[in-house]
Amino acid sequence: MEPLGFILGVVTFNAFVRAKEPIRKATIMATSQVMNIAEHAKGAVYGIKEEVEDIIAEAHYENMKRNMTPLDYYQGEVDQQFTEH
């Protein structure tokens, strides 16, 4: 029974050595694809973030306009005239 265990061990080791390179290549390809998908996801998230920031800034501006009194508006024009010259 001992020689059979040794032979099975040699065959298993040989199969592992032969399968190692294709498994490594497949792992590298899979990792590369995951990294590529992650880059695309980052780009999409960045675009969404920019859109949300723009919406928030526009909403803030609209609130400021809505809450501005005529005196505030006039004062802004006066301040603008002094800063331009």
**Whether this model's pTM surpasses 0.85:** no
Q: Furthest-apart CA pair in the chain: how many Å? A: 102
Backbone φ and ψ of 52, nearest 5°: -65, -40
Express each pLDDT in 15-58 by its tens digit: 888 888 888 899 999 999 999 999 999 999 999 999 999 999 99
Confidence at residue 57, expressed as pLDDT on a 0 to 100 scale: 93
Confidence at residue 38, expressed as pLDDT on a 0 to 100 scale: 94
Query: How confident is the model over 50-78, as a mean pLDDT?
Result: 80
Quickly tell me which residue has 């505030």 as its tokens: 72
Domain ranges of the chain: 2-84
